[in-house]
Amino acid sequence: MAMDEYMLSLEGAFLRFYGWDGIVLSYGKSKKEKINPNDQFCAANNITKIRRPSGGKTVLHQYELTYAFSADQDLFPTSIIETYRLISQPIISCFQNLGLKVQMSPEKRQHSESDNCFREISSYEISINNKKIVGSAQYRKGNRFLQHGSILLNIDWDLWYAIWGGSDLPGSMETRITSLSHELNEIPSAIQLTEKLRAEFELSFQRKGQPYNFIQKELEKIDELEKKFRDFY
């Protein structure tokens, strides 16, 4: 999270893919839980809670691939949802190349009392058979923006219901949410998926990506930023 926020201070476009150490619940930048995930269960099972620099509802990071995309706003439409649409397109192309029939939601927003990000489909988010598979959130600062996205590789339903069971009846989340494992009948390799997604981003934006190596001074700044994203039990 600290590294993603640091990207907001740089110039140009940056794309990161990563996973998480342990099970983590991330909360949107300014959001307080309206409906608390099961705090007692989370504490007992070493599930960490952190803030994201981006907005949106709560995301469970377990069997998923996270992406972070940061760029200058003047390279994209002024509309946040139009920016969502452009960033969603290479992800859709990647999924289509895997043989999946993917939909991009229209410009609308479904509302839910649940704080589970995947419980509702927002404008230009990605779904399969009306089941959400990618959750995204964006934050703008100055002339820069940061978009986070969570791509579900697999789902431990017992864990999801243990955390959000108070607001969802048994079996109800399976009608709204899906994963690549379910759709492909196999658990995809996060590394292979990352390479496919990277290639689609390069093709979509007609830019060849180059590795970015942080220097020591940058890593020190990132360490300072990290303090504000640590858990907040």
Structural domain for 180, as ranges: 2-229
Average pLDDT by stretches of 10, the chain with 233 residues = 92 94 86 65 88 86 96 87 90 96 73 73 85 91 92 95 74 89 93 96 93 94 84 52
Provide the edge-to-edge strand list for the sheet that holds 48-51: 48-51, 24-27, 59-61
Helix 80-97 with 190-205: angle, nearest 10 deg: 120
CA 84 to chain centre: 12
pLDDT at 34: 45
pLDDT at 166: 64
CATH number at residue 172: 3.30.930.10
Nearest to 155 by CA among 104, 118, 192: 118
* Number of domains present in the structure of the chain: 1
Q: Which residues are catalytic?
A: 117
pLDDT at 169: 65
pLDDT at 10: 92
pLDDT at 128: 93
What pTM value is reported for the model? 0.90
